[in-house]
Amino acid sequence: MMAASLQELINTPLEDITDPKLKDPDDPKKKLVIKRIPEGLLAMLRRQEPSEFSAVIASPDEYRQLVACQINYTLKPSPFPFDDIAAATDALLDHQGSSAILGLLESLSTHVMKAVNSSLPGLMIIDQSPIEAAGIGLCKDTLGKPTSFSIGGNAGYAAMIPFWCSNFTFWTGEIMSNLSAFLGFHGKEAQTSFEEVLISLGASDLLIKLNDIRNSIQANPIPDVVAGKEVIFPLDGSACDNDQYLVITPVPSATTMCAIHARYYADRNLFFKELEAFNTEQKAHEKAENAYRKLKKKDGVQPPVFEASRPAYPLPKMGQVVLVASNPANLGSAMQKISGKPIAFEAKIAENPFRKTQAGRKRLTQNLLGKYHSLVTVKPFLVDFLTRENPTSELRARWSEELSDHLVYAILDLITLRHQGLPVAEADVALKAGSERRFITRTLSGDLLKRSLTSADIQELATAVTETINLQVMRRKNSLGMSNDCKSKVFDTLSFIFRKAA
């Protein structure tokens, strides 16, 4: 893990952030520069997972500098130097800034409500249930990831997310964010340092309100209000009689959503989609990398390589803050739709090859009405299969076993029609091949008009189909057709199939 001290990062060259929609009033061809941020800090401020390039805080003063940087990220235009304490203090006093900070903390949740519109107020649910050893399927027990929180709510608060969630390395060596420090995941020292920083920036009122929110989270993690769908679940099979049910409100877990989301972006060749565009994190990462290279070249000094070891603290019930849900505007919605492609497992129900599509059904109907000769279709693979040479007994045995599967494809239309009935009236069927017509139109139970399907009919049909297949084999292979042995086997199999299907 590469890390550099905060001051070094602040001293990296500035990166211009432009707003693509605004034009510079002085030079209409250029875009307006709204922020100027040191390159080294970009990865920390924009990246959502613990960055490789994380700043190391060595003292409470540096912590104050860091928090000032995080707050100054929201200011337009950016102050210079970037860690200007006065500007940060003013921003905290400003109503917009402090309400954003409060609003984000209020929207903290491990499970998001299934609301259809994210602007509807959602529930704050903090899940404190312990992990079960024997998990089923994919859920919190089997995911193996620390708890992720969903944070957001109002898109206007988005600028303050780096304040809460950007990661840095504390002087004890732990990697943490302000949110995890404030909630007490990293011990008392981190919590009190954060609070002291806020006080030194003149935000003691804000701190009181934040403390109130934290206390209410710990006191009442799951609200008493039922909001969302209600699924009634029977607790056993005789619930019809003994009325044993449970009402469940499904709330998807942010941890699972973030895990799938992170996995999707981690593996570009994931089978269900390919990543088409870089996201801003990637760009920020690259910029930070460049900044580090320039640092190295300039001072001729290697930035300190710091091996951060995550301490194994006894799992506090609330877990660890790892990742912020990606876009605050999407929160509260059950499905994340990112550039038109939902990030979820998608069941691909391939069209059943046996089931004819609408087009196939139309073709079949036309074939029945028109004077089409035969419904038997012989495909090239069948011809290859029938003329295949099987030198060993094992191969011959396998060939015999697979014969019926291959033949079914040739007589599929016949079987389907026999099984499902005719799509047209019986009198309209104008099929030329008499044996096929009899097979698909005659019923099994005989009637006085001698219209039942007899075994003689089936034999005749099997012979006819064998001859059709043989003709195709002769034509395609330019040979004398199937051997007698092969022909008799085909005949036997076909009569067996027809008898079964009839």
Partner 1 sequence: MHTLIIPVIASNVNVVSSPHAVGLPASTAISGFGHAFLRLVSQMLAISLTDKGTAMAIQSYTVLDGRSKHTVADVNSKSKASAGDMASMVDERLAYIDMHLLVRFDCSSDALIKLHDNLLQLQGEVSRLGFSGGALQSSGPICLVEHDTTGRESLGKLPFDSRVLLDRTYLISLAQALFEESALDSIIRLLKQAEEQSKDYEAFSIRRIEIDKRTEKTPEDIIDLKYLGNLCALQVGYRAIEEPKARSTRMQDRYLHVYAEPVIGLCQLQTAGSLLRMDSESLNAESVFWKYQAKHPYYVSLETLNHE
How far apart are CB 197 and partner 1 at their closest, in Å? 33
How far apart are CB 128 and partner 1 at their closest, in Å? 8
Considering beta carbons, is residue 52 or 141 the nearer one to partner 1?
141
Q: How many angstroms from the chain centroid is the CA of residue 401?
A: 41
How far apart are CB 442 and partner 1 at their closest, in Å? 20
How far apart are CB 317 and partner 1 at their closest, in Å? 12
Considering beta carbons, is residue 330 or 470 the nearer one to partner 1?
330
Q: What 3-state class would DSSP assign to 372? A: coil
Q: Is the peptide bond before 130 cis (omega within 30 degrees of 0)?
A: no
Considering beta carbons, is residue 232 or 427 the nearer one to partner 1?
232
Question: Amino acid identity, residue 241?
Answer: D
Considering beta carbons, is residue 327 or 387 the nearer one to partner 1?
327
Cα–Cα distance for residue pair 344/78, rounded to 1 Å: 38
Whether the Cβ atoms of residue 50 and residue 170 lie closer than 8 Å to each other: no
* DSSP per-residue codes, 156-216: GGGGGHHHHH-EEE-TTS-EEEHHHHHTTTT-HHHHHHHHHHHHHTT-HHHHHHHHHHHHH
How far apart are CB 29 and partner 1 at their closest, in Å? 21
Q: What 3-state class would DSSP assign to 3? A: strand
Considering beta carbons, is residue 41 or 257 the nearer one to partner 1?
257
DSSP code of residue 14 = E
Q: At what angle do helices 60-72 and 85-93 cross, to 10 degrees?
A: 60
Considering beta carbons, is residue 129 or 455 the nearer one to partner 1?
129
Strand partners, 305: 2
Neighbours of 144 (CB within 10 A): 9
Cα–Cα distance for residue pair 30/368, rounded to 1 Å: 69
How far apart are CB 407 and partner 1 at their closest, in Å? 11
Note every long-range contact of 394-397, with CB atoms under 8 Å and residues 24 or more positions apart, other chains counting: none
Considering beta carbons, is residue 347 or 448 the nearer one to partner 1?
347
How far apart are CB 217 and partner 1 at their closest, in Å? 15
